[in-house]
Amino acid sequence: MIKKPISPEIRQQLIFAQREEITEYHIYNRLADQTRDPENQKVLRQIANDELKHYKMWAAYTNKEVSPSHWEVRKYYWISKVLGLTFGLKLMEKGEEKAQINYALISTEVPEALSVAEDENHHEKELIGLIQEEHLKYMGSIVLGLNDALVEILGTLAGLTFALQNTKLVGLVGIITGIAGALSMSSSEYLSNKADGNHEQAIKSSIFTGIAYIIAVVFLIAPYLIFKSPFIALIVALINSVIIVFLFTYYLSVASDQPFRKRFTEMVVLSTTVSLISFGLGYLVRVMFGIDL
């Protein structure tokens, strides 16, 4: 159906909106084709159909067919495949390009614009919230593993760095401590879930906790296996810890709609404070016991 003529400014906005809608239509459809979970597939198809409906609505005003951004389709498809559906789709919905569509301006000539904006802001977010991903159920276990490794291992490395001042020895102790810590945390998480009656998720929770712990240990220990100076290794380990916290907190803030700055600051301050205290204790141990390796 051909709509009444619109101004050039509004038409340009609608063409941009068309490109966004048809691009997201292809993203959702492509992800639906690759998704094994029937419920997730159903949600993705529904959102894709909504995007196509919006595209056709705008096309009736612009009388123009618009091609999708193939780069955007590939980018968000692979982000969703690698980092999870929820993260990829929420990242896409938070995209800066969305803000360029001025629905208030469009609605001055296109009454349907406000209902589309409502769909974009609420309906699609509700649908994305219905998508089920197993790893998101165990975010608490992942946080536990990462946080404990950053505090415990980083604190241990800081203390041993000054006490021993030997990169290979500190690295060796760190590896042993890291493996023992991962096994300890995994078993504790398993027993905790069992005690709470969560028998089905006990094993998976312990696995996620252990994997998160090991990943953090690898990044913290690696500098001691690369650099000769223990103090440079410690500085790099501290930088690695901040990078780990940043990446994980950003992921969590997008996938779970949690505040980024507050959680990032808490984890960095906690791990850094423990490291400084441990570093001081290492100095005291070295002086009190006269360690000189």
Whole-number Å distance between alpha carbons of 151 and 51? 45
Q: Report residue 209 CA to chain centroid gap.
A: 16
Whole-number Å distance between alpha carbons of 98 and 174? 46
User: Mean pLDDT throughout 83-91?
Assistant: 82
Task: Quickly state the pLDDT bin for 26 (edges 50, 70, 90).
Answer: very high
In this prediction, residue 144 carries a pLDDT of: 73
% of the chain exceeding 90 in pLDDT = 11
pTM comes to 0.70
Domain boundaries, the chain: 8-132, 137-289
What tens digit of pLDDT does each residue of 117-132 get? 777 766 566 666 656 6
CB-based contact 14:6 (threshold 8 Å)? yes
Higher-pLDDT residue of 206 and 126 is 206
| Of 60, 62, 30, 63, nearest in space to 47 by CA | 30
The beta strands (E) that lie in 212-257 are given as none
pLDDT at 236 over 80: yes
Q: Report residue 215 CA to chain centroid gap.
A: 15
In this prediction, residue 96 carries a pLDDT of: 47
What tens digit of pLDDT does each residue of 165-199 get? 788 888 898 888 888 888 888 888 888 777 777 76
CB-based contact 113:6 (threshold 8 Å)? no
Q: Which two tokens stand for residue 193?
A: 């879930």
Mean pLDDT over the full length of the chain = 80
Q: What number of helices (H) and strands (E) belong to the chain?
A: 13, 0
CB-based contact 249:260 (threshold 8 Å)? yes
pLDDT at 74 over 90: yes
Cα dihedral sign, 142-144-147-149: negative
pLDDT at 20 over 70: yes
